[in-house]
Amino acid sequence: MYYIVTGAAGFIGSNLVKALNERGITEIIAVDNLTRADKYRNLVDCEIADYLDKHEFAECMEAGDFDGAVEAVLHQGACSDTMEHNGQYMMANNYRYSVALLDFCMDQEVPYLYASSASVYGGGSVFRESREHEGPLNVYGYSKFLFDQVVRRRLPEAASQIAGFRYFNVYGPREQHKGRMASVAFHLFNQFQAEGRVKLFEGCDGYGNGEQQRDFVFIEDVVKVNMHFLENPDLSGIFNLGTGRAQAFNDVAVATVNACRAAKGEPALSLAELGNKGMIEYIAFPEALKGKYQSFTQADVSLLRQAGYDEPFATVEEGVSRYVQYLAAR
């Protein structure tokens, strides 16, 4: 019996493959699109049974090649570029493909764990898994939102697990291929290594310079939640996956710079001290992002806690420090 991981060479997908390996599971079908070939590096230290291109996998699934042969599907594959303007591509890739996988899992009665997104909440201020709080600001968010609505309609008739996770701002190892869509922590680390300073956006939406706040969640915590649900197949629903704690971009910058300084035996500095020394710089807020930017996100994790997940989540200071150690070692 196979575990199917879509987006397996991507950021979250490859971390899930590694986590399955750590649990002794190697009968994994890794599904992805390696048009950007450098993603393969994320799977080099992983054990899988086979790799299939996403189109090849879809054909095999439709032909019945995997009938009766799947233990669970962890669907992480998607176009995650919030600036993608090709709505036809986005909907085919993120929405229609997800529906086809849902049909397969419901027919085969196998667990279906999938990636949703906090982008479904748009510019709202309440981040609770309820329809009245949802209003995506871009077609990426809409593709995730629309699939969540399908799941809500299907859940009452499902004979097997369906669990969607609205990922907030995930950061950590194996995201290096994402380019401009990689996390703030990743970009700040590289900026500091190259220039000895980091850059953040100036204030917007009533927030001061670098004071926009997001719920930043470390990849290790994302993996733990997915494994919790995989080990508890009676749990279904749509769940926020964040820390429940908003922190400023300034916090990420301070944590990143101080972790880099600590690696060189240098003392930690405050935000003000880093600013005075020119190690944190603020740049104009991009016109292209105005009206499409979430200046504040904070997951309501009540449903996740009710589902029995009681592990603590890493703070920005804890997670970024571990991440910088990982990046520096490479």
H, E, C per residue of 119-140? HHHCCCCCCCCCHHHCCCCCHH
Q: How far is CA 318 from CA 30, 104, 271, 322, in A?
A: 31, 39, 17, 7
Of 112, 140, 142, 323, the catalytic one is 140
Q: Per the residue annotation, which of 178, 199, 224, 292 is the catalytic one?
A: 178
121 is catalytic: no
- The letter for the amino acid at 202 is E
Q: What would the DSSP string read from start to end of 140-166?
A: HHHHHHHHHHHHHHHGGG-SS-EEEEE
215 by Cβ neighbours in 10 Å (0-12 / 13-18 / 19+) ranks as buried
Close Cβ partners of 92 (under 8 Å, ≥ 6 residues apart): none
Q: Phi/psi class of residue 151: alpha, beta or left (left: φ > 0; alpha: ψ in -120 to 50)?
A: alpha
Tell me 295's DSSP state: S
The size of the chain, in residues, is 330
Q: Is 140 one of the annotated active-site residues of the chain?
A: yes
CA 281 from centre of chain: 27
Q: What tokens appear for 314 in the block?
A: 């890493």
With H, G, I as helix, E, B as strand and everything else as coil, classify residue 320. Answer: helix
Catalytic residues: 140, 178
